[in-house]
Amino acid sequence: MHRDRFFDNHMRGIDWEAVCRKYEPLVARITDRAELNDLLGQMVGELGALHSQTRPGDQRTAQDGSTQAFLGAVFSRAAGGYRLDHIYRTEAELPSEASPLAQPALGLREGDLLTAVNGRPVLEARDLSDLLRNKASQQVLLAFKRGPEALKPVVVTAIDAIRQGSLRYSDWEEGLRRQVDQASQGRVGYLHLRAMGPGDINTFAREFYGQVDREGLILDVRRNNGGNIDSWVIEKLLRRAWAFWTDAHGRPLGTNMQQTFRGHLVVLVDEFTYSDGETFAAGIKALGLGPLIGRRTAGAGAWLTDSNVLVDKGQVRAAEWPQHHIRNGAWIIEGVGVPPDVEVVNLPKETFEGRDRQLETALNLLMDKLGKEPLTPIQPKGIPAYSKAR
């Protein structure tokens, strides 16, 4: 199935039957589907192609295991309880996405001390996580103190690990957006796309049009895990204003084409920018819309239909459609990635300390560009007087 859907009928010069013979002796040692998946993954790895992940089929799952729950925040053990160090931040326009502890009616603050969960003192347990086990999607009663004063108990709904991870990601995004806004005094906007799927269209529309009047924009596709909306996003960035309207006082109302970004653009990429995130980055570069800053992308440039699924829902994805440059037909992205125009490495220690050198470089580049090539303000030259003499 992988052979019949792979983008090269000649399997990139590899003898596929010989590869099969190489791995076939290991089949007799397989004891479950997980080991088969591992073997299939090793086999297709011989092609050196991305988008060739193995997806598990009919596998046994544990039915008696416990699941962990969270509160959308960071706690640290302290004298008397667990200190609320940080409540994860989210987009203010999406109140339904907020952390359980960020609900305005609760009145909680960072620094408050969690003392009990469902009436049980937190320090009696080995860890706070023990008190939240199997509580995901359930209401829990929390007791807090602020200094010596006990606060009114609050009831919140605990969340699962996936939601906790998403909140942590949102907090990272919100932190970078605020950093850019403060450092540029509102002149530069920031927009991050986690992927290129339906939900990311919503993200782009909400955040791009909310910052369309900025003089500069940092569009971050680091860690973007792909999808297929690159053309739609690039289409919005290609729009060019050619006229504008004014009111009776000569004040500009808007441009034609409407909702057009007129400022300078920078795109952030890294080694985890994958699939359609890479196609987007390559398009930005090919169309000259702005420089890429960061690291060379992953190199998953061949797209696919995901149609080679087995009866038990198992799959070894096959990369089906490689990309080529329209100018000269050259092979692009697959296996080589998209190189940045300005290479910047985020060192582990600096990242641990909260520094983002790639973002800093993008911001400095934009501010320098705005100094040298400021955005021309929209200003009418006046309305000619009407004259009957023609």
324 phi/psi in degrees, rounded to 5? -140, 150
pLDDT digits (tens, 9 = 90+) for 71-81: 999 999 999 99
For the segment 223-250, the average pLDDT, to the nearest whole number, is 95
For the segment 324-341, the average pLDDT, to the nearest whole number, is 95
Query: Which residue out of 2, 51, 192, 264 is catalytically annotated?
Result: 51
Q: What pLDDT, on a 0 to 100 scale, did the predictor assign at position 382?
A: 83
Q: What pLDDT, on a 0 to 100 scale, did the predictor assign at position 23?
A: 97
Handedness of CA 30, 35, 36, 39 (dihedral sign): negative
DSSP code per residue over 67-124: ---B-SEEEEEETTEEEEEEEPP--TT-GGGS-GGG-GGG---TT-EEEEETTEEGGG
Looking only at the bridges linking them, the beta strands covering 243-246 and 154-157 are unpaired
Structural domain spans, the chain: 2-55, 73-160, 184-300+335-372
What CATH number matches the domain at 184-300+335-372, 3.40.50.2300, 3.40.1280.10, 3.90.226.10, 1.50.10.20?
3.90.226.10
Q: From its phi and psi, is residue 312 left (phi > 0), alpha (psi between -120 and 50) or beta?
A: alpha
Task: Indicate if 387 belongs to the active site.
Answer: no
Name the pLDDT band for 369 (thresholds 50, 70, 90): very high
Name the pLDDT band for 310 (thresholds 50, 70, 90): confident
Name the pLDDT band for 62 (thresholds 50, 70, 90): low
If you ran DSSP here, which 8-state letter would residue 63 be given?
S
Hey, what amino acid is at 386?
Answer: Y
Q: How many other C-beta atoms are found inside a 10 Å radius of the C-beta of residue 366?
A: 26
**Chain mean pLDDT for the chain:** 94
* Residue closest to 76 by CA, chosen among 85, 67, 65, 63: 85
Are the C-beta atoms of 84 and 114 separated by less than 8 Å?
yes
Name the pLDDT band for 300 (thresholds 50, 70, 90): very high
Cβ-based neighbours of 82, under 8 Å, separated by 6 or more:
75, 76, 113, 114, 122, 128
- Fold agreement between 73-160 and 184-300+335-372: no
Q: What pLDDT, on a 0 to 100 scale, did the predictor assign at position 389?
A: 60
Name the pLDDT band for 341 (thresholds 50, 70, 90): very high
Q: What pLDDT, on a 0 to 100 scale, did the predictor assign at position 1?
A: 87
pLDDT at 390 over 70: no
Structural tokens at position 33: 């589907």
For the segment 117-144, the average pLDDT, to the nearest whole number, is 96
CATH superfamily for domain 73-160: PDZ domain (2.30.42.10)
Strands in the chain per DSSP E: 54-55, 73-78, 81-87, 113-117, 120-121, 139-146, 149-150, 154-157, 188-192, 216-220, 243-246, 252-256, 264-269, 292-294, 315-316, 323-324, 331-332, 342-343
Structural tokens at position 207: 């955040």
Are the C-beta atoms of 133 and 69 separated by less than 8 Å?
yes
pLDDT digits (tens, 9 = 90+) for 3-39: 999 999 999 999 999 999 999 999 999 998 889 999 9
Task: Indicate if 334 belongs to the active site.
Answer: yes
Structural tokens at position 152: 């009114």
pLDDT digits (tens, 9 = 90+) for 242-290: 999 999 999 999 899 999 999 999 999 999 999 999 999 999 999 999 9
Name the pLDDT band for 164 (thresholds 50, 70, 90): very high
For the segment 342-362, the average pLDDT, to the nearest whole number, is 96
Q: What pLDDT, on a 0 to 100 scale, did the predictor assign at position 56?
A: 87
Are the C-beta atoms of 47 and 316 separated by less than 8 Å?
no
* Residue closest to 200 by CA, chosen among 216, 219, 175, 177: 219
Task: Indicate if 275 belongs to the active site.
Answer: yes
Q: How many other C-beta atoms are found inside a 10 Å radius of the C-beta of residue 44?
A: 20
Q: What pLDDT, on a 0 to 100 scale, did the predictor assign at position 66?
A: 85
Hey, what amino acid is at 301?
Answer: G
What is the reported pTM? 0.93
